[in-house]
Amino acid sequence: MATLLADSQQVSATEPRSRTARVAVVRTTPATVVEDYGRLMDLAGYRDVLSQDRDTLLKLNLSWTKYFPSCSSQPWQVDGVATKMLRDGFARERLIPIENKTVVTNPRQGCRNNRWEPILDRHGLTFTPLPEVEWQVYRFKSPLLKLNEIFPDGIQIPAIYPGRQILHLPTVKTHGHAVMTGSVKNSFGGLLREVRHYAHKYMHEVLVDLLYMQRELHPAVFTVMDGTIAGDGAGPRTMVPRVKNLILAATDSVAIDAIAAQLMGFEPLSIPFLRMAHERGLGIADPRQIELVGDDISHENFGFKTRRSLVIWGDQAIRKGFLRPLERVLLHSPLMVWAPVASNVYHDLFWYPTIGQSRIRSFMKTEWGQLFRKY
């Protein structure tokens, strides 16, 4: 397995390199993607990190209850990971697929709409919606940057989290609050309750907090990221799906997000949460310190641009912009019920049936769209 870095990223022989990380990247096709996920996980050394003697949380990514390509964990991503782990001897009863809700998503409906349900049933796995499990206040020892301030009465987390290893299944896409979203942001959807939108104002600091929290909670963390269809533009929902035929895996959440960011065309260390995590020793975000194994991606640059949807623009205007004097009333009082209603009206009743359906029709004409229909 060779190190595959662009010439401009090569580290000088005299430059200190005290920390390194490894990210596996594989080119794939609809015909081979399930098997390719198994090869990818081996390249990233997943069995060196995840133990068959522990329970494994399979943290799915649901950004929309409805299906939209690149938005949530792809069915072939779930299929590939489950197939590989069961084939390698992981016990079914110790694999726990999970996902949370937001004020605008429903995990059980999302499990059906995104075609996870038939895959999990076929593999004998049971989906666990996090709103249906016990939650508990957990006192973290780490010096969190913002979450203790945002939730002064204590941070509630799922009671099934402490002591269990976790495997994240994000996708490659942009995000209006965080520039890009991947492994680190996927923990945002599991470790915080549906009121986690309170954290949007300090998104980058909160993402760093989540890395601290995971370090205390989980004996191991692994990520398998789907980039077969990547999301460009106003993520994490109203995007333009782009066929990219790549899948990624790593033990370092920061490193895999850095490579995904670089693939999309961003400078990883210019993204605040990646830079802060790198500086605090929570992972590697400098591409010069990341070993790439698998297929050569040194010339890849998707040229993506992060844009803000109308909903995210409004959220940021209230939290940070000209509507900030109204933040307490609009988002932290009983009147905040207007926000999820407005989001659902815009996303589900306007954007999805018009612009979204047009993009889905184009996607369904691709080989990946044909594969989705088979699930």
Query: What does the DSSP assignment read for 186-236?
Result: HHHHHHS-GGGGGGGGGHHHHHHHHHHHHHHH-S-EEEEEEEEEEEEEETT
In this predicted structure, the answer to whether residue 335 has a pLDDT above a threshold of 70 is no
Cα distance between residue 113 and residue 71, in whole Å: 12
Tokens of 360: 């889905």
Split at pLDDT 50, 70, 90, the class of 331 is confident
**Chain position carrying tokens 């995000």:** 175
Split at pLDDT 50, 70, 90, the class of 285 is very high
**pLDDT single digits (tens) 238-254:** 999 999 999 999 999 99
Split at pLDDT 50, 70, 90, the class of 94 is very high
Amino acid occupying residue 248: L
Across residues 191-204, what is the average pLDDT? Answer: 80
Residue 98 three-state SS: strand
In this predicted structure, the answer to whether residue 18 has a pLDDT above a threshold of 60 is no
Q: What is the mean pLDDT of the chain?
A: 91
Q: How does 195-215 read in b/e, with b if 16+ C-beta sit within 10 Å?
A: ebbbbbbbbbbbbbbbbbbbe
CA 309 vs CA 102, 233, 312: distances in Å? 17, 9, 5
Across residues 21-37, what is the average pLDDT? Answer: 98
In this predicted structure, the answer to whether residue 355 has a pLDDT above a threshold of 90 is yes
Determine if the pTM surpasses 0.85.
yes
72's CB contacts (< 8 A; 6+ apart) are 60, 61, 62, 63, 64, 110, 114, 171
Across residues 184-193, what is the average pLDDT? Answer: 91
The bridge status of strand 221-234 relative to strand 165-168 is parallel
Cα distance between residue 165 and residue 70, in whole Å: 25
The residues spanned by each domain of the chain are 18-309
Which CATH number does 18-309 carry?
Answer: 3.40.50
